[in-house]
Structure 1
Protein backbone atom coordinates (compact mmCIF):
# COMPACT_ATOMS: atom_id res chain seq x y z
CA UNK A 1 0.00 0.00 0.00
CA UNK A 2 2.90 2.34 0.79
CA UNK A 3 4.40 1.75 -2.67
CA UNK A 4 1.08 2.56 -4.35
CA UNK A 5 0.70 5.68 -2.21
CA UNK A 6 4.25 6.80 -2.99
CA UNK A 7 3.79 6.18 -6.71
CA UNK A 8 0.53 8.15 -6.77
CA UNK A 9 2.11 11.05 -4.88
CA UNK A 10 5.06 11.08 -7.28
CA UNK A 11 2.68 11.16 -10.25
CA UNK A 12 0.75 14.10 -8.82
CA UNK A 13 3.96 16.00 -8.05
CA UNK A 14 5.31 15.36 -11.53
CA UNK A 15 2.22 17.06 -12.97
CA UNK A 16 3.02 20.37 -11.25
CA UNK A 17 5.70 21.57 -13.70
CA UNK A 18 3.45 20.47 -16.57
CA UNK A 19 0.05 21.80 -15.48
CA UNK A 20 1.01 24.48 -12.96
CA UNK A 21 -1.56 26.24 -10.81
CA UNK A 22 -4.62 24.04 -11.55
CA UNK A 23 -2.93 20.91 -10.25
CA UNK A 24 -1.56 22.86 -7.27
CA UNK A 25 -4.99 24.20 -6.35
CA UNK A 26 -6.82 20.93 -6.93
CA UNK A 27 -4.36 18.90 -4.87
CA UNK A 28 -4.37 21.32 -1.93
CA UNK A 29 -8.15 21.64 -1.87
CA UNK A 30 -8.77 17.87 -1.98
CA UNK A 31 -6.09 17.23 0.65
CA UNK A 32 -7.75 19.82 2.92
CA UNK A 33 -10.96 17.84 2.54
CA UNK A 34 -9.15 14.71 3.74
CA UNK A 35 -8.62 12.88 0.45
CA UNK A 36 -5.73 10.49 1.22
CA UNK A 37 -2.41 10.12 -0.64
CA UNK A 38 -2.34 13.74 -1.83
CA UNK A 39 1.02 15.43 -1.01
CA UNK A 40 -0.29 18.96 -0.35
CA UNK A 41 2.63 20.21 1.75
CA UNK A 42 5.21 18.76 -0.61
CA UNK A 43 3.27 20.21 -3.55
CA UNK A 44 3.47 23.71 -2.05
CA UNK A 45 7.15 23.16 -1.27
CA UNK A 46 7.86 22.28 -4.90
CA UNK A 47 5.68 25.18 -6.08
CA UNK A 48 7.89 27.51 -4.02
CA UNK A 49 10.98 26.12 -5.72
CA UNK A 50 9.47 26.45 -9.19
CA UNK A 51 8.23 29.96 -8.43
CA UNK A 52 11.66 31.08 -7.25
CA UNK A 53 13.16 29.59 -10.42
CA UNK A 54 10.73 31.57 -12.57
CA UNK A 55 8.69 28.55 -13.65
CA UNK A 56 5.55 29.65 -11.77
CA UNK A 57 4.28 33.15 -10.90
CA UNK A 58 5.17 33.66 -7.23
CA UNK A 59 2.12 35.61 -6.05
CA UNK A 60 -0.32 33.50 -8.05
CA UNK A 61 1.19 30.26 -6.71
CA UNK A 62 1.01 31.46 -3.10
CA UNK A 63 -2.56 32.70 -3.49
CA UNK A 64 -3.61 29.51 -5.25
CA UNK A 65 -2.28 27.37 -2.40
CA UNK A 66 -3.86 29.62 0.23
CA UNK A 67 -7.28 29.93 -1.41
CA UNK A 68 -7.46 26.22 -2.26
CA UNK A 69 -6.66 25.30 1.33
CA UNK A 70 -9.27 27.73 2.65
CA UNK A 71 -11.90 26.39 0.25
CA UNK A 72 -11.24 22.79 1.29
CA UNK A 73 -11.37 23.78 4.96
CA UNK A 74 -14.67 25.61 4.51
CA UNK A 75 -16.23 22.65 2.73
CA UNK A 76 -15.11 20.39 5.59
CA UNK A 77 -16.53 22.80 8.17
CA UNK A 78 -19.96 22.89 6.51
CA UNK A 79 -19.89 19.13 6.10
CA UNK A 80 -19.48 18.96 9.86
CA UNK A 81 -22.44 21.31 10.27
CA UNK A 82 -24.56 18.92 8.21
CA UNK A 83 -23.38 15.80 10.03
CA UNK A 84 -23.79 17.35 13.46
CA UNK A 85 -23.64 15.01 16.50
CA UNK A 86 -22.85 12.00 14.32
CA UNK A 87 -19.25 13.21 14.09
CA UNK A 88 -18.77 12.85 17.84
CA UNK A 89 -19.87 9.22 17.60
CA UNK A 90 -17.05 8.27 15.24
CA UNK A 91 -14.49 6.02 16.88
CA UNK A 92 -11.39 6.65 14.74
CA UNK A 93 -8.34 8.00 16.53
CA UNK A 94 -7.94 11.12 14.39
CA UNK A 95 -11.49 12.31 15.07
CA UNK A 96 -11.09 11.67 18.80
CA UNK A 97 -7.84 13.65 18.90
CA UNK A 98 -9.43 16.52 16.97
CA UNK A 99 -12.42 16.56 19.33
CA UNK A 100 -10.17 16.58 22.39
CA UNK A 101 -7.96 19.36 21.04
CA UNK A 102 -10.93 21.48 20.03
CA UNK A 103 -12.49 21.07 23.47
CA UNK A 104 -9.22 22.08 25.13
CA UNK A 105 -8.10 24.92 22.84
CA UNK A 106 -11.13 26.20 20.92
CA UNK A 107 -10.19 28.27 17.82
CA UNK A 108 -6.50 27.89 18.68
CA UNK A 109 -6.92 24.18 17.85
CA UNK A 110 -8.00 25.15 14.35
CA UNK A 111 -5.00 27.47 13.97
CA UNK A 112 -2.52 24.82 15.14
CA UNK A 113 -4.03 22.10 12.96
CA UNK A 114 -3.30 24.14 9.82
CA UNK A 115 0.50 23.87 10.17
CA UNK A 116 1.89 22.55 13.48
CA UNK A 117 -0.26 19.42 13.67
CA UNK A 118 -1.43 19.38 10.05
CA UNK A 119 -2.49 15.69 9.96
CA UNK A 120 -5.43 16.67 12.19
CA UNK A 121 -6.51 19.45 9.79
CA UNK A 122 -9.23 17.70 7.75
CA UNK A 123 -10.77 16.08 10.83
CA UNK A 124 -10.58 19.38 12.72
CA UNK A 125 -12.58 21.12 9.99
CA UNK A 126 -15.44 18.64 10.31
CA UNK A 127 -15.27 18.52 14.10
CA UNK A 128 -15.31 22.33 14.35
CA UNK A 129 -18.41 22.48 12.19
CA UNK A 130 -20.16 19.72 14.10
CA UNK A 131 -19.07 21.05 17.49
CA UNK A 132 -20.77 24.39 17.15
CA UNK A 133 -17.70 26.61 16.78
CA UNK A 134 -18.94 29.80 15.14
CA UNK A 135 -18.16 30.19 11.46
CA UNK A 136 -16.41 33.53 12.04
CA UNK A 137 -14.10 32.20 14.77
CA UNK A 138 -13.32 29.13 12.67
CA UNK A 139 -12.63 31.21 9.57
CA UNK A 140 -10.33 33.69 11.31
CA UNK A 141 -8.29 30.92 12.93
CA UNK A 142 -8.27 29.00 9.66
CA UNK A 143 -7.06 32.00 7.67
CA UNK A 144 -4.25 32.75 10.11
CA UNK A 145 -3.11 29.15 10.19
CA UNK A 146 -3.21 28.63 6.43
CA UNK A 147 -1.21 31.83 5.88
CA UNK A 148 1.50 30.40 8.15
CA UNK A 149 1.37 27.04 6.35
CA UNK A 150 1.38 28.32 2.77
CA UNK A 151 4.00 31.02 3.31
CA UNK A 152 6.31 28.69 5.27
CA UNK A 153 6.31 25.94 2.66
CA UNK A 154 6.58 28.37 -0.24
CA UNK A 155 9.56 30.05 1.44
CA UNK A 156 11.20 26.71 2.24
CA UNK A 157 10.74 25.59 -1.35
CA UNK A 158 12.17 28.86 -2.65
CA UNK A 159 15.33 28.25 -0.63
CA UNK A 160 16.04 25.23 -2.84
CA UNK A 161 15.90 27.23 -6.08
CA UNK A 162 19.65 28.08 -6.19
CA UNK A 163 20.44 24.36 -6.25
CA UNK A 164 18.32 23.55 -9.31
CA UNK A 165 21.18 23.99 -11.84
CA UNK A 166 23.39 21.57 -9.88
CA UNK A 167 20.58 19.02 -9.68
CA UNK A 168 19.85 19.48 -13.39
CA UNK A 169 23.49 18.66 -14.18
CA UNK A 170 22.98 15.26 -12.61
CA UNK A 171 19.71 14.55 -14.40
CA UNK A 172 17.24 16.40 -16.55
CA UNK A 173 14.42 14.33 -15.08
CA UNK A 174 12.17 16.39 -12.81
CA UNK A 175 11.85 13.33 -10.57
CA UNK A 176 15.38 13.98 -9.33
CA UNK A 177 14.40 17.44 -8.15
CA UNK A 178 11.24 16.14 -6.49
CA UNK A 179 13.16 13.34 -4.81
CA UNK A 180 15.73 15.80 -3.45
CA UNK A 181 12.98 18.01 -2.07
CA UNK A 182 11.18 15.01 -0.56
CA UNK A 183 14.37 13.90 1.21
CA UNK A 184 14.90 17.42 2.57
CA UNK A 185 11.33 17.59 3.80
CA UNK A 186 11.57 14.16 5.41
CA UNK A 187 14.80 15.19 7.13
CA UNK A 188 13.08 18.30 8.48
CA UNK A 189 10.19 16.22 9.83
CA UNK A 190 12.59 13.79 11.50
CA UNK A 191 14.54 16.61 13.12
CA UNK A 192 11.33 18.17 14.40
CA UNK A 193 10.20 14.85 15.91
CA UNK A 194 13.51 14.36 17.72
CA UNK A 195 13.78 17.82 19.23
CA UNK A 196 13.73 17.54 23.04
CA UNK A 197 11.32 20.43 23.65
CA UNK A 198 7.85 20.10 22.18
CA UNK A 199 6.59 18.66 18.90
CA UNK A 200 7.84 21.36 16.51
Structure 2
Protein backbone atom coordinates (compact mmCIF):
# COMPACT_ATOMS: atom_id res chain seq x y z
CA UNK A 1 0.00 0.00 0.00
CA UNK A 2 2.85 2.38 0.83
CA UNK A 3 4.39 1.70 -2.59
CA UNK A 4 1.10 2.60 -4.28
CA UNK A 5 0.79 5.78 -2.20
CA UNK A 6 4.34 6.79 -3.14
CA UNK A 7 3.59 6.10 -6.80
CA UNK A 8 0.44 8.24 -6.72
CA UNK A 9 2.32 10.99 -4.86
CA UNK A 10 5.01 10.94 -7.55
CA UNK A 11 2.40 11.45 -10.26
CA UNK A 12 0.46 14.20 -8.50
CA UNK A 13 3.45 16.20 -7.25
CA UNK A 14 5.82 15.87 -10.19
CA UNK A 15 6.73 19.54 -9.99
CA UNK A 16 8.06 19.19 -6.44
CA UNK A 17 9.86 15.90 -7.11
CA UNK A 18 11.37 17.18 -10.34
CA UNK A 19 12.52 20.35 -8.61
CA UNK A 20 14.27 18.23 -5.96
CA UNK A 21 15.92 16.10 -8.66
CA UNK A 22 17.21 19.23 -10.43
CA UNK A 23 18.61 20.65 -7.17
CA UNK A 24 20.24 17.32 -6.27
CA UNK A 25 21.58 16.12 -9.61
CA UNK A 26 21.89 19.26 -11.72
CA UNK A 27 22.73 18.47 -15.35
CA UNK A 28 22.25 14.75 -14.72
CA UNK A 29 18.53 15.53 -14.62
CA UNK A 30 18.51 15.46 -18.42
CA UNK A 31 19.81 11.89 -18.39
CA UNK A 32 17.28 10.87 -15.72
CA UNK A 33 14.41 12.33 -17.76
CA UNK A 34 15.73 10.66 -20.90
CA UNK A 35 15.90 7.26 -19.19
CA UNK A 36 12.39 7.52 -17.72
CA UNK A 37 10.80 8.41 -21.06
CA UNK A 38 12.92 5.79 -22.84
CA UNK A 39 11.86 3.05 -20.42
CA UNK A 40 8.19 4.08 -20.51
CA UNK A 41 8.26 3.73 -24.29
CA UNK A 42 10.90 1.10 -24.92
CA UNK A 43 10.28 -1.57 -22.28
CA UNK A 44 6.99 -3.49 -22.14
CA UNK A 45 7.59 -4.15 -18.43
CA UNK A 46 7.46 -0.44 -17.47
CA UNK A 47 4.23 0.96 -18.98
CA UNK A 48 3.16 2.80 -15.81
CA UNK A 49 6.05 5.25 -15.63
CA UNK A 50 4.92 8.90 -15.93
CA UNK A 51 4.97 10.13 -19.52
CA UNK A 52 2.59 12.94 -20.43
CA UNK A 53 2.67 14.54 -16.99
CA UNK A 54 6.48 14.31 -16.78
CA UNK A 55 6.87 16.06 -20.15
CA UNK A 56 4.52 18.81 -18.98
CA UNK A 57 6.36 19.22 -15.67
CA UNK A 58 9.75 19.29 -17.43
CA UNK A 59 8.49 22.00 -19.77
CA UNK A 60 7.26 24.02 -16.80
CA UNK A 61 10.66 23.70 -15.12
CA UNK A 62 12.36 24.85 -18.32
CA UNK A 63 10.22 28.00 -18.24
CA UNK A 64 11.76 28.90 -14.86
CA UNK A 65 15.28 28.53 -16.29
CA UNK A 66 16.00 25.39 -14.27
CA UNK A 67 16.31 23.39 -17.50
CA UNK A 68 17.35 24.37 -21.01
CA UNK A 69 14.31 24.06 -23.28
CA UNK A 70 16.38 23.30 -26.42
CA UNK A 71 18.36 20.50 -24.77
CA UNK A 72 15.16 19.21 -23.21
CA UNK A 73 13.28 19.06 -26.51
CA UNK A 74 16.12 17.28 -28.33
CA UNK A 75 16.74 14.69 -25.61
CA UNK A 76 13.07 14.02 -24.95
CA UNK A 77 12.42 13.63 -28.66
CA UNK A 78 15.25 11.09 -28.94
CA UNK A 79 14.12 9.11 -25.87
CA UNK A 80 10.76 7.80 -27.18
CA UNK A 81 12.13 7.49 -30.70
CA UNK A 82 14.97 5.21 -29.54
CA UNK A 83 12.58 3.43 -27.17
CA UNK A 84 10.24 2.70 -30.07
CA UNK A 85 13.07 1.12 -32.06
CA UNK A 86 14.17 -1.10 -29.16
CA UNK A 87 10.57 -2.16 -28.50
CA UNK A 88 9.96 -2.85 -32.18
CA UNK A 89 13.00 -5.10 -32.59
CA UNK A 90 12.35 -6.96 -29.33
CA UNK A 91 8.85 -7.69 -30.60
CA UNK A 92 10.13 -8.63 -34.03
CA UNK A 93 12.88 -11.02 -32.92
CA UNK A 94 11.63 -12.36 -29.60
CA UNK A 95 7.90 -11.64 -29.42
CA UNK A 96 6.63 -14.84 -31.00
CA UNK A 97 9.05 -17.06 -29.05
CA UNK A 98 8.18 -15.42 -25.75
CA UNK A 99 4.44 -15.01 -26.04
CA UNK A 100 3.09 -17.31 -28.75
CA UNK A 101 2.83 -21.07 -29.18
CA UNK A 102 1.27 -23.03 -32.02
CA UNK A 103 -0.96 -24.97 -29.62
CA UNK A 104 -1.75 -22.04 -27.32
CA UNK A 105 -5.43 -21.61 -26.56
CA UNK A 106 -5.54 -17.84 -26.96
CA UNK A 107 -2.18 -16.53 -28.21
CA UNK A 108 -1.76 -18.46 -31.45
CA UNK A 109 0.65 -17.84 -34.29
CA UNK A 110 -2.31 -16.89 -36.48
CA UNK A 111 -2.67 -13.75 -34.36
CA UNK A 112 0.77 -12.61 -35.52
CA UNK A 113 -0.44 -12.70 -39.12
CA UNK A 114 -3.59 -10.78 -38.18
CA UNK A 115 -1.47 -8.18 -36.40
CA UNK A 116 0.71 -7.89 -39.49
CA UNK A 117 -2.33 -7.20 -41.66
CA UNK A 118 -3.76 -4.73 -39.16
CA UNK A 119 -0.55 -2.70 -38.99
CA UNK A 120 -0.12 -2.73 -42.75
CA UNK A 121 -3.59 -1.20 -43.03
CA UNK A 122 -3.73 1.10 -40.00
CA UNK A 123 -0.06 1.26 -38.95
CA UNK A 124 0.56 4.97 -39.31
CA UNK A 125 -2.60 6.02 -37.54
CA UNK A 126 -2.04 3.43 -34.81
CA UNK A 127 1.57 4.37 -34.04
CA UNK A 128 0.89 8.12 -33.98
CA UNK A 129 -2.36 8.05 -31.98
CA UNK A 130 -1.02 5.43 -29.56
CA UNK A 131 1.72 7.89 -28.61
CA UNK A 132 -0.93 9.95 -26.78
CA UNK A 133 -2.51 7.00 -24.93
CA UNK A 134 -0.74 5.84 -21.73
CA UNK A 135 0.18 2.13 -21.60
CA UNK A 136 -0.99 1.65 -25.21
CA UNK A 137 2.05 3.59 -26.47
CA UNK A 138 4.30 1.13 -24.65
CA UNK A 139 2.85 -1.89 -26.45
CA UNK A 140 2.21 -0.41 -29.91
CA UNK A 141 5.85 -0.65 -31.12
CA UNK A 142 6.17 -4.16 -29.67
CA UNK A 143 3.06 -5.35 -31.52
CA UNK A 144 4.26 -3.61 -34.68
CA UNK A 145 7.50 -5.58 -34.49
CA UNK A 146 5.63 -8.74 -33.59
CA UNK A 147 3.49 -8.31 -36.69
CA UNK A 148 6.60 -7.52 -38.77
CA UNK A 149 5.33 -4.14 -39.88
CA UNK A 150 7.56 -2.60 -42.57
CA UNK A 151 10.39 -0.96 -40.59
CA UNK A 152 10.80 2.15 -42.75
CA UNK A 153 7.07 2.76 -42.50
CA UNK A 154 7.17 2.21 -38.75
CA UNK A 155 10.11 4.55 -38.13
CA UNK A 156 8.51 7.31 -40.23
CA UNK A 157 5.34 7.24 -38.13
CA UNK A 158 7.41 6.86 -34.96
CA UNK A 159 9.29 10.09 -35.76
CA UNK A 160 6.04 11.97 -36.40
CA UNK A 161 4.46 10.59 -33.23
CA UNK A 162 7.48 11.47 -31.07
CA UNK A 163 7.66 15.00 -32.48
CA UNK A 164 3.96 15.62 -31.87
CA UNK A 165 3.89 14.05 -28.40
CA UNK A 166 7.04 15.63 -26.96
CA UNK A 167 6.46 18.96 -28.69
CA UNK A 168 2.87 19.20 -27.48
CA UNK A 169 3.37 18.38 -23.79
CA UNK A 170 6.77 20.03 -23.25
CA UNK A 171 5.77 23.26 -24.98
CA UNK A 172 2.39 23.42 -23.24
CA UNK A 173 4.24 23.05 -19.95
CA UNK A 174 6.80 25.65 -21.04
CA UNK A 175 4.25 28.29 -22.05
CA UNK A 176 1.46 27.60 -19.57
CA UNK A 177 3.00 25.69 -16.65
CA UNK A 178 4.10 28.82 -14.83
CA UNK A 179 0.93 30.85 -15.27
CA UNK A 180 -0.10 31.60 -11.65
CA UNK A 181 -3.43 29.75 -11.79
CA UNK A 182 -1.71 26.65 -13.23
CA UNK A 183 1.34 26.88 -10.97
CA UNK A 184 -0.81 27.25 -7.87
CA UNK A 185 -2.95 24.29 -8.91
CA UNK A 186 -0.24 22.10 -10.42
CA UNK A 187 -1.67 18.88 -8.98
CA UNK A 188 -5.03 19.60 -10.61
CA UNK A 189 -3.25 20.34 -13.89
CA UNK A 190 -1.44 16.98 -13.72
CA UNK A 191 -4.71 15.19 -12.93
CA UNK A 192 -6.35 16.94 -15.89
CA UNK A 193 -3.51 15.83 -18.18
CA UNK A 194 -3.82 12.23 -16.98
CA UNK A 195 -7.60 12.37 -17.44
CA UNK A 196 -7.33 13.80 -20.95
CA UNK A 197 -4.73 11.16 -21.84
CA UNK A 198 -7.14 8.41 -20.80
CA UNK A 199 -10.08 9.80 -22.80
CA UNK A 200 -9.23 7.97 -26.07
CA UNK A 201 -9.05 4.63 -24.24
CA UNK A 202 -12.32 5.33 -22.41
CA UNK A 203 -14.01 6.38 -25.65
CA UNK A 204 -12.82 3.22 -27.41
CA UNK A 205 -14.01 1.05 -24.50
CA UNK A 206 -17.47 2.64 -24.54
CA UNK A 207 -17.64 2.36 -28.33
CA UNK A 208 -16.77 -1.34 -28.24
CA UNK A 209 -19.32 -2.02 -25.48
CA UNK A 210 -21.99 -0.19 -27.51
CA UNK A 211 -21.14 -2.18 -30.65
CA UNK A 212 -21.34 -5.46 -28.72
CA UNK A 213 -24.74 -4.53 -27.28
CA UNK A 214 -26.05 -3.58 -30.72
CA UNK A 215 -24.75 -6.83 -32.21
CA UNK A 216 -26.42 -8.88 -29.47
CA UNK A 217 -29.66 -6.93 -29.91
CA UNK A 218 -29.65 -7.56 -33.68
CA UNK A 219 -29.05 -11.28 -33.18
CA UNK A 220 -31.86 -11.48 -30.64
CA UNK A 221 -34.20 -9.60 -32.98
CA UNK A 222 -33.29 -11.97 -35.83
CA UNK A 223 -33.99 -15.00 -33.64
CA UNK A 224 -37.41 -13.59 -32.67
CA UNK A 225 -38.31 -13.10 -36.35
CA UNK A 226 -37.33 -16.70 -37.13
CA UNK A 227 -39.73 -17.86 -34.42
TM-score over 0.5 for the pair: yes
Judging changes above 3 Å, is the alpha-carbon distance between structure 1 residues 55 and 143 closer, same or farther for their aligned structure 2 residues?
same
Alpha-carbon deviation of 1:106? 2.3
Alpha-carbon deviation of 1:101? 5.5
Distance, in Å, in 2 between the alignment partners of 1:143 and 1:50 is: 25
Counterpart contact for 2:134–2:198, Cα < 8 Å: no
Alpha-carbon deviation of 1:134? 1.8
Distance, in Å, in 1 between the alignment partners of 2:57 and 2:38 is: 16
Deviations 1:106-160 (A, max 9, x none): 2321122112x34311211111112111221110000001111001101221212
Name which of 82, 107, 119 aligns with 2:124.
Answer: 107
1:170 corresponds to which residue? Answer: none
Aligned residues: 181
1:35-74 paired onto structure 2 within 5 Å: 35-74=46-85
Name which of 3, 6, 11 aligns with 2:5.
Answer: 3
2:173 corresponds to which residue? Answer: 157
Q: Which runs of 5+ in 1 are unaligned?
A: 168-175
1:81 corresponds to which residue? Answer: 92
Distance, in Å, in 2 between the alignment partners of 1:4 and 1:120 is: 23
Judging changes above 3 Å, is the alpha-carbon distance between structure 1 residues 79 and 114 closer, same or farther for their aligned structure 2 residues?
same
Q: Would you say 1:183 and 2:191 are equivalent positions?
A: yes
Judging changes above 3 Å, is the alpha-carbon distance between structure 1 residues 74 and 166 closer, same or farther for their aligned structure 2 residues?
closer
Judging changes above 3 Å, is the alpha-carbon distance between structure 1 residues 58 and 166 closer, same or farther for their aligned structure 2 residues?
closer
SS at match of 1:161: coil
1:142 corresponds to which residue? Answer: 158
Alpha-carbon deviation of 1:183? 2.9
Judging changes above 3 Å, is the alpha-carbon distance between structure 1 residues 22 and 45 closer, same or farther for their aligned structure 2 residues?
same
From the CA coordinates, give the structure whose radius of gyration is larger: 2
1:21 corresponds to which residue? Answer: 30
SS at match of 2:66: coil
Q: Which runs of 5+ in 2 are unaligned?
A: 23-28, 208-227
